[in-house]
Amino acid sequence: MAVDGTYKISGEAMGTRLEGTLELATEGSKLTGTSRIGSQVVQLKNGKADGDSFSADVTAPTPMGKVKFKMTGKVSGDKISGTLKTMVINATYEGTRI
């Protein structure tokens, strides 16, 4: 599928630069995977894929406690980019398939 793979990603959230990996796998329109930033690994939930676009819910530990994010993204060749959003946090990320 268009989005399947492991990506090295980086982004910024609340003034902090973050780097990690994003692993994505599809089965039809169902998307599963994990996000790893530092030693934190979180599972993607309620994932959906449509061609080169995808979305999922991610609950991640933050300095404010666990926060649920809505992740969206798009893959173009080996490049990936997208957003993580909550009511108060909007973060962007980009990366490359490894």
Residues of the chain short of pLDDT 50, as ranges, are none
Domain ranges of the chain: 5-97
pLDDT attached to residue 66:
84
The first and second tokens of residue 20, run together, are 């990690």
pLDDT, tens digit, for every residue of 23-36?
999 999 999 999 99
CATH of domain 5-97: 2.40.160.90
Distance CA 5, CA 66 (A): 26
Nearest Cα to Cα of residue 37 among 97, 98, 93 = 93
The pLDDT of residue 43 is 95
Query: In the 8-state DSSP scheme, what is residue 98?
Result: -
79 contacts: CB under 8 Å, gap ≥ 6: 94, 95, 96, 97
Nearest alpha carbon to residue 68 among 36, 39, 45: 45
Considering the entire predicted model, what is its pTM? Answer: 0.89
Give the model's pLDDT for residue 88: 79
The whole-angstrom separation of Cα 60 and Cα 7 is: 18
